[in-house]
Amino acid sequence: MKKRLFTLLGAGLALAAAGQQRPHYTQYILNNYVLNPALTGIENYGDLKFSIRDQWAGLNGAPRTTYLTYHKPIGKQDFKPSPTGFTVPGENPRGENYWGAYEA
C-alpha cells in the first residue's frame, strides 16, 4: 500500500513540476567565461561583456537569453614567474637562476 501511495504521489509531483530550459548560448568565442568560469581572472585586463540572444525572433513567448559577465585580473602576487609555480632556485629546471648558470 505504501509503495502504491509513493508511486502515485511521485507521479503527481512529476506532472505538477515546472522545469526551466537550459540557456542556449551559441557565441562561446565572444564570451568563453559562460562556458568555463574557471577562465575568469587569468588575463591582465578587466573585461565586461553583455549579450542578449533571442532564439526565435518575432514570435511571442520566444526564449530570450541574457548574460552579463565581468572579470578582472587577480593580484600580481598570485602570478608565479615559472609555469610550474616553484620559486626556489634549484628546485625548478625552468627557474630564473637555472638558465643563468648556462650563460656565456
pLDDT confidence of residue 77: 53
The pLDDT mean for the chain works out to: 71
* Predicted structure pTM score: 0.45
Confidence of residue 16 (pLDDT cuts 50, 70, 90): low
Nearest to 25 by CA among 77, 75, 63: 63
Measured in degrees and rounded to the nearest 5, phi and psi for residue 92 equal -115, 120
Confidence of residue 6 (pLDDT cuts 50, 70, 90): confident
Taken as a whole, the chain contains a residue count of: 104
Return the DSSP state at 96.
Answer: H
Q: What confidence tens digit (pLDDT) does each residue in 57-91 have?
A: 888 888 888 888 888 877 655 555 545 555 555 55
